[in-house]
A and B are shown apart, each in its own frame.
Chain A
Amino acid sequence: MPNKATIFLQYYAGLIYIFLYFPIALVVLFSFNSGNYSAEIQGFSLRWYGETWRDPFVLEALGNSIFIAVTSATLSTVIGTLAALALQNVHGWLRNLYDGLIYIAIIIPGIVIGIATLIFFVQFFGWLNPMLQAQFGPSAPRLNLGLPTIIAAHTLFTMSIVIVIVRARIAGMDRSLIEASNDLYATPMNTFWQVTLPQLFPAIIAGFLLALTFSFDDFIVAFFVAGPNTTLPIYVFSSIRRGVTPKINAIATVTLIVSLAFLFTVQYLLTRSSERGPGNSGTVSSDNQASRV
């Protein structure tokens, strides 16, 4: 029989969850509201989803966000994977240093990255633009804040996530698979394409999806370096100043569902690959396991 303390703890845990998820549930609920105001429910409707979908400002922001997310995630996946592979050949204190720096890069607050990248871009462009002018005359391009700077900033902070995920996978990888490939006449290059890369593939995809999600959801960093451009979170932020409309709720709900879908995929990829992964190829499955197949 549960005593009073246990019962209290159960309620307490329940309250915490309500506290965490109630606002989110409200957002989802009100996104289906047919009325004009978020405050009162007037009936169920997909009206606001339709309106959102037809709003050219939303579409532009969404297009920017998708473009930024896909480009920066692709860049950070390529660079991060290469970095993770290269770090395998670094040993001793230097490796510890690199590892530490990667984790620090992950926990640095977005606002710091935002300010730092903004200062960097402004300084850099302030130095580069006059040089371009001097070189090519007044028709020379003037570099400024815009989508490329958001992409660069996002690549910067999502790259360390990719590195950490791919590194974990490399560490868990069975070295003997590489040796087996070597033993079977594959050159180091072929071994990389035929064994290493396929083994790392789930982690690389997981890293890509996480980078995609982080970039798509990011407001703070983008806000600093966006210049005149809007991304979806920036659009949401600026329209909230005119009051929370059901449109915002619809956008939030869609963002939530897409993000969750990505995160579940990541989770699935990482657990599945560790279950059937190379780390387990060494263990010998028993006979009854084979007869089950």
Chain B
Amino acid sequence: MMQPTVAIDVEFRNVAKSFGAVVAVDNVNFQIPKGSFFTFLGPSGCGKTSCLRLIGGFEQPDSGEILIASESVAQVPAYERHVNMVFQHYALFPHMHVAGNVGYGLRQRRPRMSAREISKHVADSLALVRLSGYDGRRSWELSGGQQQRVALARALVNKPTVLLLDEPLAALDRKLRKDMQVELKNLQREVGITFVFVTHDQEEALSMSDRIAVMRDGKIVQEGSPTDLYSQPLDRYVAGFIGQSNFIVGTVVEAGDQVTIKTERSVLFRAPKSKVAKSLLAGDNAVVAIRPERISLGNKHEAGVESFAGRVAQVTFLGDQTEFHVETEQAGRLLVRMSSGHASFVSGDPVIAYWKREAGLALLNE
């Protein structure tokens, strides 16, 4: 028997939720460990927001069970759940100034909290998000980033068990978003509250999360740490969604830990089977995923690597790195990313694209 080593703050057991004919959440199971930064990642419409709203109590599941701090919340209305949400568009109360917004949750407490105590907590919370002195401002007088931090302060001041964040950075411009990613992560470490974060931006998910649940069509496709998902994607969808990948399709000729694959052009090559993916049998359609940074370009075939001959079709200089699109006869178009110092090929050059066998990952092509 496995004993849980950490407490679980949120758990879904076979939770399903439909809106009319649309299945927004399809029989989902997960556990969010206490104090972790957990992210739902997936394209728009895959059910991320619905999961958050189920936790917050704004939607009721059609079936299944939701537990917060190990207690079923089936009978608990939103206003009694010790969970707070940062809404996608912040939902600050326009008829209240900043301090009124931040103190809102504390003012609902019974027995009442004294006004002195409330204003002290509000000041602390505003200091936490570096907005001291903004107490008297109205929400429409604030920039997007500031509104977002007010929304954060308004939620955090209640010291919730779980903080829910629905794409809180999506409305910010790129530079501000980067800063806020770091800030949010630091804030989470500082307050030690479980963060449940929703984003469609895989970069954001990778850089902030302790664990990521990749969603598709209302289901969790794969859940794991950012490194797990990056190095051991379960299928082509995850491999394509988390970071970039080249995909070479073919048929399994020989199964095993090392899979031999015949490409559509009848070239044989080998790649290790994914450790987490479904097993591959001879005759299965397979796809081999290779990250662009794991491929190198050279002038001759070398021993002990997989290599394909081709021609440079396009060169994109990215500063420290350079991207090459290589058109190969046998494996189609490959994206290759190399340190700028190491590559001096220009468009039209004949090249050999090669990678170490273990850089590839053989997956079932569904």
Contacts and interface: CB of A to CB of B under 8 A. Distances in A.
Q: Is the interface of A mostly helix, strand, loop or mixed?
A: helix
Contacts of A179: 56, 58, 78, 85, 87, 91
B245 interface: no
A274 to B, nearest CB: 11
Nearest to A292: B141
Contacts of B146: 290
Interface string B252-278: 000000000000000000000000000
Contacts of A276: 94, 140
Nearest to B102: A184
Interface stretch (B104-112, B177-185, B314-322, B342-350): B104-112
A180 B87 contact: yes
Contacts of A182: 57-58, 77-79
A282 to B, nearest CB: 4
A282 B83 CA distance: 22
B95 A185 contact: no
Given A285-B142, A290-B143, A186 B91 contact: no
Interface string A88-113: 00000000000000000000000000
B108 A190 contact: yes
Interface string A264-288: 0000000000001110111111110
Nearest to B77: A182
A180 B101 CA distance: 10
B231 to A, nearest CB: 36
Nearest to B81: A183
Given A176-B87, A284-B144, A284-B147, A186 B93 contact: no
Contact of A281 (B56, B108, B139): B139
B160 to A, nearest CB: 9
Interface in A167-191: 174, 176-177, 179-188, 190-191
Contacts of A198: 95
Contacts of B171: 284
B301 interface: no
Interface centre among B78, B95, B145 (most CB of A within 10 A): B95
Given A183-B79, A183-B85, A281 B143 contact: no
B89 A289 contact: no
Interface of A: 174, 176-177, 179-188, 190-191, 194-195, 198-199, 276-278, 280-287, 289-290, 293
Given A286-B144, A290-B143, 5 more contacts: A176-B91, A182-B79, A183-B85, A184-B105, A289-B141
16 contacts: A179-B85, A179-B87, A180-B91, A180-B92, A183-B83, A183-B84, A184-B108, A184-B155, A185-B79, A188-B79, A280-B94, A280-B140, A283-B89, A285-B144, A290-B141, A290-B143
Considering the complex of A and B, which 5 residue pairs feature the smallest CB-CB distances, nearest first?
A284-B144, A282-B89, A184-B105, A176-B91, A180-B91
